[in-house]
Amino acid sequence: MIVYKDVISGDEVVSDALKITPVMEGGEEVPGLFEVDSAMVAVGGGDIDIGCGNAFGGAGDDEGADDATQKENNVSGPSSFAYTAMPFSSKGEFKSWVKDYVRNVRQALKGSGVAVEDIKKFMEEAPTFVKWLVDKYDDLEFFMSKSMNPDAGLIFSYYKEGAHCPTFVYVKSGYKVVKFLEHHHHHH
């Protein structure tokens, strides 16, 4: 199993237990990002996908779902990777955050001995994915990872056409890929 850890805070934000895919825009891959489609699951009930209704302002009537079952998002929920919503007050504020973040990641990568060409590639991709994020600002929600470290990366989410559950988006270079040989519980 592979877990993605924030290069600044060390927080685990997602694992390959979920299907990790490139971010696509108009049939083209957006460089420097990846995404994961989420689902609502019963807490402690294993991976039963029970759709996203009210939790995200979806369907008004909870189509006969048993409300005794506690549900949470299988990516952002408290027993998954425990994200905390962190809205921005304006697109301008987000834009300056994302520029600072790119600089912070570059520093973190330099400090952790990442190959110069990988850092160069990240800096070359940055304007493209920054533009994608800023252009999509109105459709995005923003989340901090578990430790709520203000310098660390944010996770972005949006809804795909017809989806009831959000898709979470990550800046690839902002995370270190950590392999676990045995089954790894990220709760403890």
**Residue 46 zone, left/alpha/beta (φ > 0; ψ -120 to 50; rest):** left
- Which range marks the domain in which residue 105 is found? 2-38+75-179
- The model's pLDDT over 11-51, given as tens digits with 9 standing for 90+, comes to 999 999 999 999 999 999 999 999 999 999 988 755 556 66
| Cβ-based burial of 114 (10 A; exposed 0-12, middle 13-18, buried ≥19) | middle
Question: How many structural domains compose the chain?
Answer: 1
Over residues 130-169, the pLDDT tens digits come to 999 999 999 999 999 999 999 999 999 999 999 999 999 9
| CATH code (residue 25) | 2.170.150.10
Long-range contacts at 52-56 (CB < 8 A, ≥ 24 apart): 52/164, 52/165, 52/166, 53/164, 56/164, 56/165, 56/166
**Domain annotation covers residue 162:** yes
CB 68 within 8 A of CB 96: no
Domain assignment present for 49? no
pTM value is 0.85
